[in-house]
Amino acid sequence: MAPSGSRSVDCWRVLYWIPVLFISLIVAWSYYAYVVQLCIDTIENMGEKIVYLLVYHVLFIMFVWTYWQTIFTKPMNPLKEFHLSHSDKELLEREDRRESQQEILRRIAKDLPIYTSTMSGAIRYCDHCLLLKPDRCHHCSACDMCILKMDHHCPWVNNCVGFANYKFFMLFLAYSLLYCLFITATDLQYFIQFWTNGLPDTQAKFHIMFLFFAASMFSVSLAFLFAYHCWLVCKNRSTLEAFRAPTFQHGPDKNGFSLGTSKNFRQVFGDEKKYWLLPVFSSLGDGCSFPTCLVNADPEQPSSPSGRNPSVKSAGESHQFPPKPLRDSQSRLLNNGQSEGSEDRDKRGTSNPALTIEKET
């Protein structure tokens, strides 16, 4: 028999699907109301009916496809190199002092592409997953795992939005907004006829009325949410980073990962334009390492707030890690800006200055 504790956890996980079920029922009703009640039973012009049905089904398919991808795309696990070995785990467990634990974590992290720390300057470590957190990675209590480039946990998709499905989430917002706007625009004239008694007194008139109210209200909320995430993509920030800036060696900096609008966009949607509008994974990188404007200067990006090279610190102030080469995923993105400048920009991002992690006070 399964322990009672595991059964209660399974019950809670079933409850997490209630928002998804609610959205699914709303979408199923909207399909019936628009296709059957509006297009088939109400609209008399055959040309108008065919055009509406064609456009509607294209938007409906893309909306459902992106929603499905956002829900069922599993978060990627951090690479093995970020996980502690068995000997390192035992060594860490034997140490009681936090300072000694940090020295062990610094030794392990010295060869990893980690450029952020906690607010106090400590190595970011997850006690639950027993790994060094890659940059932009956070532990989600709902998913009970570390999520690469975590944006937020969304109850409406019962999944974490992060590196693995952020593009799908953006497309889901875009197509759901277009879906609602299309319904609102095409249903408007029949909604007006409802109030002027221009529609026959059938059940279709009530579906048409509620369909307009639902689509218009969802359009407003989705427009604000989509605009906000477009701004985040252009700034190369996650929702978590917008509220709490990642901490680099010179201090917190919300623009630390921003490489300019075009490169920020390509980091999420990829280089090949044919995949931009399709819910097919095309994001650049591995989710564990990201190029930063603090390591590789970019003409599109202002200088760091400190006004100096962040890697320059006195020996008495910090521990300095050896230089680390950029990963292929980083160099590919940084060397990809052919249309934005001269060929000199292609030579950037080949090496990385030393990473400095400050001592805890």
Q: Which residues are catalytic?
A: 154
Structure tokens belonging to residue 279: 């819910």
Closest C-alpha to 162, from 142, 130, 144, 138? 138
Question: 159 by DSSP, 3-state: which?
Answer: strand
A 10 A CB-CB count for 361 gives 5
Q: Which residues pair with 132 in a beta bridge?
A: 125
Closest C-alpha to 248, from 310, 169, 332? 310
HSE-up (13 A, CA, CB side) for residue 278: 8
Closest C-alpha to 258, from 238, 278, 283, 243? 238
Looking at residue 350, the DSSP 8-state letter turns out to be S
Cα distance between residue 35 and residue 54, in whole Å? 10
Chain center to CA of 111: 27
Structure tokens belonging to residue 175: 């197509």
DSSP H helices in the chain: 4-15, 18-31, 46-72, 86-94, 98-109, 166-195, 204-235, 239-243, 261-269, 328-334
Residue with tokens 């497309």: 171
Looking at residue 53, the DSSP 8-state letter turns out to be H
Cβ proximity of 164 and 148 under 8 Å: yes
Cα distance between residue 89 and residue 80, in whole Å? 14
Question: 105 by DSSP, 3-state: which?
Answer: helix
